[in-house]
Amino acid sequence: MTPEESAIWIRIQQKDIRAFEEFYRSAYKRFFLMAFQYLKDADTSQEVVNDVFMKLWEDSAEIIIEKSLVSYIYRAVINRSLNQLQKQKRDLAQIRSLQYSLQHDASYELRQMEENELKAALYKAINQLPDQCRRVFCLSRFEQLKQQEIADQLGISIKTVKNHITYALKQLHKVTGELLVIGIVLLKLFFFRD
Same-domain check for residues 95 and 110? no
CATH no. for residue 114? 1.10.10.10
Q: Do 23 and 12 contact (CB within 8 A), yes or no?
A: yes
Range of the domain at 162: 106-191
Interatomic CA distance for residues 4 and 2, integer angstroms: 5
Using only C-alpha atoms, what is the Rg of the chain? 29
Closest CA to 126 of 83, 187, 56: 187
Same-domain check for residues 125 and 145? yes
Same-domain check for residues 94 and 117? no
Q: Which amino acid is at 135?
A: R
Give the pLDDT of residue 186: 56
pLDDT tens, residue by residue, 40-90:
889 989 999 999 999 988 888 888 888 888 888 989 999 999 988 888 888
Tell me if the pTM is above 0.85. Answer: no
CATH no. for residue 41? 1.10.1740.10
What is the band of 163 on the pLDDT scale with cuts at 50, 70, 90?
very high
Ramachandran area for residue 65 (φ above 0: left; ψ -120 to 50: alpha; else beta): beta
Same-domain check for residues 72 and 125? no
Per-position DSSP letters for 38-52, written without gaps between them: HH--HHHHHHHHHHH
